[in-house]
Structure formats: structure tokens, C-alpha cells
Amino acid sequence: MKTARKSFSFILYLTVTLFVFPVMAGSYDDFFTAIKRDHRHTIEALLQRGFDPNSVDETGQPGIIAALLIESYEAADALANSDRLQLEAVNQSGETALMMASLRGQAALVQRLLQRGAAVNRVGWSPLHYAATAPDETSMKLLLAHGAAVDARSPNGTTPLMMAADYGPSACVDLLLAAGARVDLKNDLGLTAIDFARQRGRDRLADRLSQRLPTP
């Protein structure tokens, strides 16, 4: 009797396995195809069927980060709404969904991720570094309002102000200055935000930043 039960259990296991594996394989392909095509409804349907929103592509990118990289914002939004999304999942470069949403200037998505508890401060590169080069300052405002460290230091000592001075919009520079960003800080190469602006040919900005240097 025990042997018969074991045989039945084994057959049942094989049946389930043979059915589930092709379905999941198909779902995986459908998932990343939907991301590439920015098909929100397809992603929502897959998630309702139990597909893992944290699945990574062949390069190690979590789905939501892959979507943001190729500007599939409807797909990214659908994934951000999933209660099962791991907010701090990173790609091979150590980037989170909040960092990429900040870089792309997707303020509504930044707000949603922050409301759900995404970490606004990180060791090394932070979301504020990424927001400093966004198309506008809206995402940066949200991050600062949620306690982002204005003078966060990257692994090489770069600050958000240096990033903004290099190739961010002037509005981001102004916002960081208003939030108390220090102009005199130097990165590991001894460069300040003034140097970044000057090297980029943004001489007016460099002069304006020079006026904010603390008095000796």
C-alpha cells in the first residue's frame, strides 16, 4: 500500500512539474516581452497569475529596472504597484528602482516608491546623485523632502552637487544649494562642484558657485 502511495505521489509530482515548468518558462518570456513593448495590462495579468515581479532578465536586471532603462514607464508603474516587489533589489551595478526612477525624472513613480518605503539614502551612490542629472528638479524635491542626505558621498567622493554642476539642470543646482549643499567639498581627485562646472564649459555656473564658497 505504501509503495502504491509513493508511486502515486511521484506521478502527481511529475504531472505538476511538467505542467508548471513550461507555463513559467512561457510567462518569463511574456513578462520581458511585455516590458520591452511597455504592455502594462500583460504584466498585470501575469502578476495576478502569480508571476514573480522580481524576476531578472538575462543581464541580471530586475524587471522594473529593465523597464526604466528602456523608458517603458507603464510597465514600471505596473510593477511598482505590486505588493510583492522587492524595493531594494539591485542590478549588477548596484542600482535600485528608486535610483533609476530618479534618473529618468519619473516623479510619480519616485513618489510611489518612497511611500512604499524605498530607501532614500544608501551607502555609495544614492538616489539623489541620480536625481541630480534628471530632466528637471521634481524628483530631487521629493527625495529631499523624504530626508535624502544633500551631501551624500559616492565611492569616489562625488556629491549630488558635483553631478548637477557637471551635467544636471540649473534648477537641480539651485535646489541643492537651497538645501544647504556644500560647494567646498572635494572628491577623491580633489575636484569641487566648481571644477566640474568649469570642465564642462559651464563658466557662468562655476562663477556662481564660487560666490557660495565659505569665507576663509
pTM recorded for the entire structure: 0.87
**For residue 95, what pLDDT is reported?**
98
Give the mean model confidence (pLDDT) for residues 188-192. Answer: 98
When pLDDT is cut at 50, 70 and 90, the band that residue 25 belongs to is very low
**For residue 20, what pLDDT is reported?**
43
3-state SS assignment for residue 82: coil
**For residue 26, what pLDDT is reported?**
64
Distances (CA, A) of 29 to 43, 55, 63, 90, 180: 11, 11, 12, 21, 47
Q: What is the dihedral of CA 36, 87, 104, 31, to 10 degrees?
A: 0
Does domain 95-216 fall under CATH 2.40.50.100? My reply is: no
**For residue 215, what pLDDT is reported?**
80
Give the mean model confidence (pLDDT) for residues 156-177. Answer: 97
Q: Class assignment of domain 1-84? A: mainly alpha
**Domain limits, the chain:** 1-84, 95-216
When pLDDT is cut at 50, 70 and 90, the band that residue 162 belongs to is very high
**For residue 216, what pLDDT is reported?**
74
pLDDT digits (tens, 9 = 90+) for 102-118: 999 999 999 999 999 99
Do residues 112 and 91 make contact, with C-beta atoms less than 8 angstroms apart? no
Minimum mean pLDDT range among 120-129, 166-175, 207-216: 207-216
Say whether 95-216 and 1-84 share the same fold.
yes
- Geometric angle at alpha carbon 44, from 41 and 48, rounded to 5°: 140
Rounded to whole angstroms, how far apart are CA atoms 72 and 67? 5
